[in-house]
Structure 1
Amino acid sequence: MSRRDLPPPPPPAHLRDWLDEAAVRADRARFLSDLGRRSLGVGRLLRLWAVAAVCVLGWCFVGMAWMAFEQHDPFGYVHGLVLAALGAGVLVPAGFWCVRGARRERQVRRLLQAWAESGRDPVADARVRAPGRSLTWLVASVALGAFGLWVAFAAAAPADPVRTTYGETAYLMGIGQILWVTGLLGLAKAAAHQRWAVRALRAPAS
């Protein structure tokens, strides 16, 4: 199986009786562990932050373009157009990466649900719940979101209509908003994983 390929779905219920139970259980444990890392691993968190960093870079170009336009001179307009083109060249691919990542995430969630419903294994299920990884996502996302809010409010609160331009305020507030939204996405993902794990991997009633 290639590192980029997702695990296959579980075999249909009517075929499992014909398969070796130990092999099916081993496949379930291995695939759930792999899907869990893809969904809530540290690498997934770093990729989310990498996309956010690209968005921040793109917004920096847009913010500088805005400030260049506010100079109201021919050189400023030309400079602003160049910066705006650079910003679009960064933000548009970042948008495609976000869409691609969301589609991949839906595929991973569907496979996680399917393999979780294919059987029960307390040891494998405990690893998939991954409270440590969820806590890592939670703490890191809260910290990033709080920093983003601080940047946004720190840019807006002391803004002076005389000395501060709209471009400068939008430049910093945009960066803060990107960081804040990224933190919210990470927080929502950690909470959603825990809700799913409690529901889908609960022990069967005796």
Structure 2
Amino acid sequence: MSGRTLPPLPPPVGTRAWPDRASLLADRSRAMAELHRLSIGGAVLVQLWLLAAGFAVGWVLVAAALRTFDEAIDMFGQMFGGVLLLLGAAFMVPTGLLIGFGLARDAKVRGLLRAWSGLDSDPAGDARFASPGLSLTWFLPSFLMCAGGLWTCFAVPAGAEPGQDTVPGVVLLMGLGMILWLTGLIGVSKAVGHYRWALRLVPPRAPSGPHA
């Protein structure tokens, strides 16, 4: 979701001009460091949460507009509902587009990361890209978001009682649960995808057998 320019694809096999393997590994390491930061860096996680929060604010305003339309008794109430609806759209449309563009950019980053890492193998130098702590930072809160969002989506309509819970109120909570679930799903997918890539990049060491 960062606006920085992505590193280019590595040159095709027939046009590679590295004088030696050390130069290749140095360029590979620099490109992978930038792509790793753009893929699973802490700033990317914060950006995702901020965009999801902005989308959620827009959804709250839209739900408030629906409630206003439902309860309005004059033209002024309808106008106020229209203002809330426009404000909600002003939050939801740009944040939703930015999240979509960010997902498309993440796909490009993953493709570039696979291309650069496939140039050569350097387990000792690549160990820093495994980042188990970052993967866990992405996974744990994202998993909790998924669980909380799914619970909200199912528990709210199941526990709604006629006369006490309004349709706009149920829609509001279900929408917030869906936003939580989708945001968490993005985070979990990134964490699991990075973990699988890191396992291929730096395979775990086989346990050494007993010495004779």
User: The TM-score by the shorter chain falls in which range?
Assistant: 0.7 to 0.9
Distance in 2 between residues matched to 1:18 and 1:57, nearest whole Å: 51
Shift of residue 18, structure 1, vs aligned partner: 4.7
Q: Does 1:133 align with 2:145?
A: no
Match of 1:119 in 2: 120
Amino acid of the residue matched to residue 184 of structure 2?
G
> Paired residue for 2:189?
188
Identity of aligned residues (%): 44
Mapped to 2, the partners of 1:185 and 1:106 lie a distance apart of: 12
Q: Distance in 1 between matches of 2:4 and 2:17?
A: 30
Q: In angstroms, what is the RMSD of aligned CA positions?
A: 2.1
Return the offset for 1:71. Answer: 0.6
Distance 1:18 1:163, change over 3 A: closer
Q: 8 Å contact 2:18–2:24 — kept in the other structure?
A: no
Whether the 8 Å contact between 1:141 and 1:186 is mirrored in structure 2 is: yes
Match of 1:60 in 2: 60
Provide, for residues 36-59 of structure 1, a one-character-per-residue CA deviation record: whole Å limited to 9, x for no partner.
111011111111111110110110
Q: How many residues align?
A: 201
Q: Which moved more, 1:6-15 or 1:62-71?
A: 6-15
**Conserved? CA contact 1:69–1:77, under 8 Å:** yes
Q: 1: CA distance between counterparts of 2:6 and 2:89?
A: 32
Alignment of 1:86-165 (within 5 A): 86-153=87-154, 155-165=156-166
Distance 2:130 2:117 in 1: 11
Q: How does the TM-score come out when normalised to structure 2?
A: 0.85
Q: What whole-Å deviation, never above 9, does each CA across 1:39-91 have from its counterpart, x for those lacking one? A: 01111111111111011011011110111111142233222111111111111
Residue segments in structure 2 that go unaligned for 5+ positions in a row? 205-212
Given that residues 51 and 98 in structure 2 are in contact (C-alpha distance below 8 angstroms), is that contact kept between their aligned partners in structure 1?
yes
Query: TM-score, normalising length from structure 1?
Result: 0.87
**Kept in 2: contact 1:32–1:124 (CA 8 A):** no
Aligned partner of residue 77 in structure 2, secondary structure:
helix
- Give yes or no for contact 1:141–1:187 (8 Å, CA) kept in 2: yes
Aligned counterparts of 2:4 and 2:185: Cα–Cα separation in 1: 27
In structure 1, list runs of 5 or more residues that go unmatched: none
For the Cα contact (< 8 Å) 2:57–2:91, is it kept in 1? yes
Pair 1:35-2:45 in alignment: no
* AA at the equivalent of 2:122: D
Partner of 1:168: 169
Tell me the alpha carbon deviations over residues 150-200 of structure 1, each in whole angstroms, 9 at most, x when there is no partner. Answer: 444554344221122101111122112111211111111111222233345
Cα distance change, pair 7–194 in 1 and its aligned pair in 2 (3 A) = same
| C-alpha contact 2:123 2:201 (8 A) present in aligned 1 | no
CA pair 17-82 structure 1, distance change in 2 beyond 3 A: closer
**Which of 11-20 and 48-57 deviates more?**
11-20
Q: Is the 8 A contact 1:33 1:124 kept in 2?
A: no
Q: Give the partner amino acid of 2:90.
A: G
